[in-house]
Structure 1
Amino acid sequence: MSSTRPQLTDEQALRYHYLEVMKYTGRAGAERVDPWDPKADTFMAGKSAVKPDFRVGEGGFASIQLAVNEAVKKAKAGAISGRAYIAIEPGTYEELVYVPKLIVDGKPVAITLYGLSDDATATAIKIAIDQGMTGAEYGRRFTPVFDGLEPEIADIFRANAALPRLSTENASVLRVENDGFQAKNLTIHNAYNADRADVNSHCEDGKGGPKNANGQFAIGWHQAVAALIHNADRVHFENVGFRSFQDTLYFKSRVPGHTVRSFYSHCMVEGDIDFIFGRSTAFFDACEIRSLGSRVGHTYVVAPSTNIATRYGIVFNDCDFTHDGSAAALKGTFALGRQWFQTVRATPYGTPNIEGYRTRLAETSELDHPPLGTISLDVLEAVGKCVVMNSRIGAHIDAKAPWDDWSGGSRNADGEFIPGLWNSKYRPVQYTSGDFHRYLKDWLQAEGLSYAEADPAEPWLAEYNNS
């Protein structure tokens, strides 16, 4: 196996058991032990039934959001404690669903959404929303949905509607801020079809040039999130499908460097660009991870931005990495991923081709006075960690070099990697903590920064027992 596919030892692999990965939460570098076994929930495991508190569909609420709103209202009135179960009749629900953080008398109240059919495709939350949408358009479309709802939900909507343009995290079909949230037997589908021209476009058909036969731009499209896990801890998805193109599944913490956890079992996630991404800890068990090559020539499954001091990033175990059978996928040049250099403007990596270029540490990341730029500690420390174990990786993934640099080159029509010119957002692949020190030793010293060097180096990107 080449050095670009580093392997865990048997001893190292034991540290990535789901119970070990899922037991840490809190501030990076000072995470506390908080044991959590999502598989112990007998309802989620299909070993017991529950009586729903609310029902969506025939004889119940007309929408999922209305049922969530009622759960919030009843919990605040003291009529529900611990967990609210919402059963959903099969069908397609064309709506946004926001599940807020819910604390009553100092204790969290968790919400469970579950489809009544075991077929996850039979019950779908499906609507089109994208990062290119203006706040005004968002407000016009969704004010009737959120008007009059509980403030925990309505405040999220109002904040989005006040934006000039939606950011990535605001362009989600399902938004989860609820600690202990569960979802089962559902499909969450962002139906945006990569067909909105970029507002900064300088060509007639948008930044991506001509559209393909499906009416999609190849580049210059917008992020369109199916599900956002926003600072919610102990989130569990069972038999859930996540569908979109770019940025399908996003998990983040509200405060940089704070670990929250989500667990995905027997789920399907599909997309093409960075479609599983974020800075929190996430474990995928027995899932299908499907790369789509219908509109782009190169795809990335994961884009982790894990903090350097966080123990675990994204872990896949017993998963199937599949593809859509497209001509692009059959070339065998797709990537497992790249480490997300989140909001970088000026990189300390590589050899600059700009005379006098220098990056220094500052509160923000900017390149507003070139050739001098700044990088924040948060951006510098978002290094990205991912391990793939005991999984089946399809022939669509580049077998020799499945990990790509960030902004470090491109792929030609045959899928061959062409190293690019240095640019201010560049970061090379960092397989271990040793790479971080090797690339930045002198720069870190000049900026007065010091990080302990693990011996042996900590694996950041690695595999174990895959086929």
Structure 2
Amino acid sequence: MPSHPQLPLSRRGFLTASVTAGAALALASVPARAAGGKRPFGRHGSPAARLTPKTLYVDPHGSGDFTSVRAAVAATTGSGWTLVLAPGTYRETVAVDATRTQATWIGASEDPRDVVVVYDNAAGTPKPGGGTYGTTGSATTTVQADGFTARWITFANDWLRADHPEITGTQAVAIKVQGDRSAFHHCRFLGHQDTLYADSMALTVFARQYYAHCYVEGDVDFVFGRARAVYENCHFRTVNRTDLAAAPYGFVFAPSTAGANPLGYLVARGRITSEAPDSHYKLARPWVPSSDTTARPMLTVRDTWMGPGIDAVAPYTNMSDAFPWQNQRFAEYRNTGDGARITVPANRPQLTDEQAKSATRAAYLGDWTPWQGVR
């Protein structure tokens, strides 16, 4: 994504403090295992009593099969593995390649604040062997495999522009998801620019993704990519900025839907809040990458509450004047809140009741029905 030269409010201290406190509470609430007094894994079992033969336990304190998520993933060749992550901070980059299908990651305490996978690369961060990471390479977690599921986990990138004024490539991805049938329940995604990269493996691949009861935080284009993705009952929060004299501070969504894909992002029954002053954020702008100038970004936001942080008069803007947002596929339906007020109708395309019947989870996900057991 294009760089946006802004200095974000630091969130690293808050993230570290909340993880430490949450982990302590979670561990104190469950008695230690009888054998050796090792740290517990709560209701999700232990290495001595596994959920399935393909279950591995990860604990940074040494009580599981592995102390790092990356090492556990490396041990899971093939399909159908489950990782249970004990409370703690996993400071590492992790990649689930396309061969490791049907993987499930579970936060053992059932509180995503307790289990944090985090690193701090940015697009412009120098690589050890030369060059820089680029946007994709900056991702803390990358998921290419189909059928990936995560529950109760925080995915974060805590790289800060304020700490690295010499770096101009300020995109810093918390997670890049490319696999089909990827599902996230009660997860948190923390970052600033380009936090959640909901994408696919290729232009011709329509990767379906589902996010339920998740929390996403950031500033510039912090939910972006070309996936066919549904966000239900999710909370999107824009962070404040102290370096800018004028709006906009950033943009919530930046879809890059391939032109051949009839469906892009669907946000349903969500909530958009802000730490910033009123009207200082745009709802979305279309991303038409140089690698795919035929893209027609698509975003539908329906039945969602938008706080005053969203600019109600002009909620959309262009990323490039060559591809105006009016020529893309942006629409809303029955949204509420100060940020959803229709003050200039031409600036807020609305679905008709008939059109809204096709803006549903089932229509976007087709023959795939994600598990609905977690509320």
Q: Structure 1 length normalisation: TM-score?
A: 0.57
Q: How does 1:82-121 map to 2 (within 5 A)?
A: 82-102=79-99, 109-121=101-113
Give the fraction of aligned pairs with identical amino acids, expressed as a percent. 30
Q: Contact 2:125 / 2:169 at 8 angstroms: preserved in 1?
A: no
CA distance in 2, matches of 1:310, 1:291: 28
Task: Report how far residue 338 of structure 1 moved.
Answer: 0.3
Q: Which residue of 1 aligns with 2:74?
A: 69
CA distance in 1, matches of 2:213, 2:193: 21
Task: Report how far residue 221 of structure 1 moved.
Answer: 5.1
Match of 1:83, SS state, is coil
Is residue 121 of structure 2 the alignment partner of residue 129 of structure 1?
yes
CA distance in 1, matches of 2:72, 2:256: 34
CA distance in 2, matches of 1:312, 1:191: 31
Task: Report how far residue 206 of structure 1 moved.
Answer: 4.5
Q: Contact 2:134 / 2:169 at 8 angstroms: preserved in 1?
A: no
Q: Contact 1:135 / 1:166 at 8 angstroms: preserved in 2?
A: yes
CA distance in 2, matches of 1:92, 1:333: 32
Is residue 58 of structure 2 the alignment partner of residue 56 of structure 1?
yes
Q: Which residue of 2 aligns with 1:225?
A: 173
Q: How does 1:16-415 map to 2 (within 5 A)?
A: 50-51=51-52, 53-57=55-59, 58-72=63-77, 75=78, 82-102=79-99, 109-136=101-128, 164-195=131-162, 197=164, 206=166, 220=168, 222-230=170-178, 232-295=179-242, 297=247, 298-324=249-275, 329-343=276-290, 379-408=292-321
Stretches of structure 2 lacking an aligned partner (at least 5 in a row): 1-43, 45-49, 337-375
Q: Contact 1:194 / 1:221 at 8 angstroms: preserved in 2?
A: no
CA distance in 2, matches of 1:101, 1:427: 33
Tell me the amino acid that sits aligned with residue 118 of structure 1. E
CA distance in 2, matches of 1:132, 1:271: 18
Task: Report how far residue 292 of structure 1 moved.
Answer: 1.1
CA distance in 2, matches of 1:233, 1:301: 23
Task: Report how far residue 254 of structure 1 moved.
Answer: 2.8
Match of 1:382, SS state, is coil
Deviations 1:344-403, CA, capped at 9 Å, x for gaps: xxxxxxxxxxxxxxxxxxxxxxxxxxxxxxxxxx63311210000111111100112211
Task: Report how far residue 310 of structure 1 moved.
Answer: 0.8
CA distance in 2, matches of 1:63, 1:333: 39
Q: Which has the larger radius of gyration?
A: 1
Match of 2:293, SS state, is helix
Q: Which residue of 1 aligns with 2:339?
A: none
Q: Structure 2 length normalisation: TM-score?
A: 0.70
Change (3 A) 1:101 1:379: closer
Task: Detail structure 1 runs of 4+ shifted over 6 Å in the superposition.
Answer: none
CA distance in 2, matches of 1:221, 1:164: 12
Match of 2:152, SS state, is strand
Tell me the amino acid that sits aligned with residue 162 of structure 2. D
Match of 1:125, SS state, is strand
Deviations 1:175-216, CA, capped at 9 Å, x for gaps: 10111011111001101011365xxxxxxx548xxxxxxxxx
CA distance in 2, matches of 1:302, 1:70: 35
Deviations 1:28-47, CA, capped at 9 Å, x for gaps: xxxxxxxxxxxxxxx9xxxx
Q: Contact 1:90 / 1:115 at 8 angstroms: preserved in 2?
A: yes
CA distance in 1, matches of 2:115, 2:184: 14
CA distance in 2, matches of 1:206, 1:164: 15
Q: Which residue of 2 aligns with 1:428?
A: 324
Q: Larger relative contact order (C-alpha < 8 A, sep ≥ 6)?
A: 1
Task: Report how far residue 69 of structure 1 moved.
Answer: 1.0
For the aligned residue pairs, the C-alpha RMSD in angstroms reads 2.1
Deviations 1:14-40, CA, capped at 9 Å, x for gaps: xxxxxxxxxxxxxxxxxxxxxxxxxxx
CA distance in 2, matches of 1:191, 1:264: 22
Match of 2:280, SS state, is coil
Stretches of structure 1 lacking an aligned partner (at least 5 in a row): 1-42, 44-48, 76-81, 104-108, 137-160, 198-204, 208-219, 344-377, 409-425, 437-459
